[in-house]
Structure 1
Amino acid sequence: MSGSTLAARALGRLLAEYRQRAQLTRSAAARVVDTSIQTIGRLEDGLKTKVSRVWINALADAYGCSDDERRLLLGLAQEMASAQQNWWRPYEDTMKPRFDYYLGLEASARRVSFWRQADVPGLFQTPEYRRAIEWTEHPTMPPEQVERRVEMAMRRKNRLEDKGFEIDVVLSEAALRGQIGGPAVLAEQLRYLADLSELPNVSIRYVPHDAPGHLGSVVESFVLLEFPKLPATGMVEPPVVYIEGFVGDLYLEREPEVRRYRHAFGEIGRVALDPATTRQIMLSRAKECGE
């Protein structure tokens, strides 16, 4: 479990809350610890991975924090410091901006729910399927960089072995029929999905084209991530909705936004076929592709 990203998010959220309560600007906070406004912004956005006790105590003094609030901030900073180094650090030079933040959230989550309109979630992709996507999106990318991206995608699969990590996937029919990489690649991908669907912590469902009108036809692909308690503090971070875009990604954290996407996932799931039927359809489709 990657406690670092989750603890950084919790710490940043609390520091922003305490600063606003004290009616101080980010500029004033930056002067307290002799740093830039941009650094304070990264800290409050959960993007700063190392924060000293000196900083925490100075900010807690400036914000008029209680003893309990100070201990909570220090506990989160310690949790960030003691977390294991993230496995994806060696790949940071090849991933798109801020995707490391998503990987940290995914590594920390207890449950993820995917709605995919056109393709298979990265966590479930075969090497050939992933490679075909990379070549489609980046036809001029050096082959060695493509291979490093494929390697990174495959390392994400270690999370599937965690029995406490629940994955609920709803796929559109287009995701099961899209000719990414050609029929042979798609057939292999579908057989792999059928195998994964038998894991006790994985649910894969399918929405056919002729399903009654549903929100999936107007809601873009998204991921809803939910989190366990942080080990040191017992805090539970609010869920996050992640939307991956072609030119930029979006993270939604406000409760009304998350509630709407949770409702959308439930409505899409309502018209999806059950996991057993979905598995048979995937195997049948894989057989068609192989003929």
Structure 2
Amino acid sequence: MAGSTLPLRALGRLLRAHRIRTGKSQLAAGLHIEISPQTLGRLEDGQKIKISTVQIASLLDYYGIVEPSAERTEALGLWEEVKQEIRATKLNQSSAGWWRAYSDQYANHFDHYLSLEATARRVTIFHLALIPGLLQHPDYRRAMIRIGFPDLSAVDVERRLELAARRQAMLVDRADSFSMKCLLSEAVLRHRPGGRKVMATQSRHLADLATRPNISLQIVPLDGDDHPGFVVQSFTLLEFPPLQSRNLTEPPVVYVEGYEGALYLEQSSVIDRHRQAIAGIERVALSESDTRQLFSRVAEECEA
């Protein structure tokens, strides 16, 4: 899903809805505008493909979306936003998709996550065992890299640390437009990648991050009551801002990462269940103030 953006995802979802409504197959619709059904499928999934304005207009004609109609105006308006983003990307290659310069340092599936994270207005994270990447101190991150990739060269280790630092920069650079809520099992503080000294540094780092207005951190105590996190496992919920020129908001995405891959879940019923899980986990979590105090206590314990 490399290259996915908010307007592109919205356009793809709209085109799929029109195709399904008219009973057209991906094969038939693709043949009509001379692209493969697989390419059309990528467009409907919100992926970047080579396609022209003439082809988009012809596809709308094929679906019976003709002038004058609000549906055609909406679809072509989204297409104009997609083209504007493409032009902006060409003019500012240094900031658009910057993470792809590090593509040799992360799994293929993570490219799509980074593109979603870069456009999200809010992320809500629940983790059972480890500190999320956006909150990791460089020493903690280095320890995790060494555990997962013990034979990695020193150069590649440093590149992965650079990638993590550039991701984390948005916590400051986008403080007015991006917020983060983390619900973390107390186990993330009891596991000690790199040893006690590293965990002391990481805990003090968390205590500092918790003072920022766009970051909310809460610990779920190990001796607390039952909560949905036992069943739902670790996940990230990403939410997006409205598109700039129209009254459309991209649906949230739940990201679930595993050892060998990841899932991107968008079904409304799945999103609802994860929202309910968040509410249930919050009910047993410590307050933000008590969480900051716990971070300080853990740091002191590890330094003792």
TM-score w.r.t. length of structure 2:
0.90
Task: Go from structure 1 to structure 2 and tell me whether the alpha carbon gap of 1:214 and 1:40 turns closer, same or farther (over 3 Å shift).
Answer: same
Q: How far has the Cα of 1:234 moved from its partner?
A: 2.7
* Counterpart selection for 1:171 from 174, 184, 188: 184
Alignment of 1:133-148 (within 5 A): 133-148=144-159
Deviation at 1:285, TM superposition (A): 0.3
Match of 1:160 in 2: 171
Any idea what the Cα deviations from partners look like across 1:197-254, whole Å, max 9, x if unmatched? Answer: 0011111000111001111222210011111101022310111111111111011111
Match of 1:120 among 120, 131, 146: 131
The within-5 A match list for 1:76-225 is: 76-83=78-85, 84=89, 85-161=96-172, 162=174, 163-225=176-238
Shift of 1:50: 5.6
How many aligned residue pairs are there? Answer: 289
Q: 1:11, 1:44 within 8 Å by CA — same for their partners in 2?
A: yes
- Shift of the 29–142 alpha-carbon distance from structure 1 to 2, 3 Å rule, reads farther
Alpha-carbon distance between aligned partners in 1 of 2:217 and 2:285, rounded to the nearest angstrom: 10
Matched letter for residue 256 of structure 1: S
Mapped to 2, the partners of 1:135 and 1:216 lie a distance apart of 28
Which moves more between the two structures, 242-251 or 29-38? 29-38
Check whether the contact 2:140–2:194 (CA below 8 A) recurs between aligned residues.
Answer: yes
Aligned partners of 2:26, 2:126: CA distance in 1, in Å?
37
- Quick one: distance in 2 between partners of 1:104 and 1:185? 30
Shift of 1:49: 5.8
Measure how far apart 1:44 and its partner are: 1.1
Q: Does the Cα contact within 8 Å between 2:42 and 2:49 map onto a contact in 1?
A: no
Q: Residue 111 of structure 2: SS of its match in structure 1?
A: helix
Which residue in the other structure is 1:235 paired with?
Answer: 248
Q: Percent identical across equivalent pairs?
A: 47
Distance 2:78 2:153 in 1: 40
Residues 229 and 142 (structure 1 numbering): CA distance in 2 closer, same or farther, change over 3 Å?
same
| Structure 2: gaps of 5 or more residues | 90-95
Q: 1:70 aligns with which of 52, 69, 72?
A: 72
Counterpart CA distance in 2 for 1:107 and 1:218 is 29
CA, structure 1 residues 54+138, in 2 after alignment: closer, same or farther (shift >3 Å)? farther
Q: Which 10-residue stretch deviates more, 8-17 or 125-134?
A: 125-134
> Which residue of structure 2 aligns with residue 5 of structure 1?
5
* C-alpha deviation, 1:4, in angstroms: 5.7
C-alpha RMSD over aligned residues: 1.7
C-alpha contact (below 8 Å) 1:8/1:49 kept by paired residues: no
Q: Which residue of 2 aligns with 1:246?
A: 259
Residue range with higher mean Cα deviation, 137-146 or 237-246: 137-146
| Contact 1:5/1:49 (<8 A) preserved | no
Unpaired stretches in structure 1, ≥5 consecutive residues: none
Deviation at 1:51, TM superposition (A): 4.2
Which range moves more in the overlay, 220-229 or 143-152? Answer: 143-152
Alpha carbons 1:49, 1:80 under 8 Å: kept: no
Contact 2:39 2:49 in 1 (8 A): no
**What residue in structure 1 maps to residue 291 of structure 2?**
278
For 2:158 and 2:38, locate their aligned partners in 1 and report how far apart those are by CA, in whole Å: 34
Partner of 2:30: 30
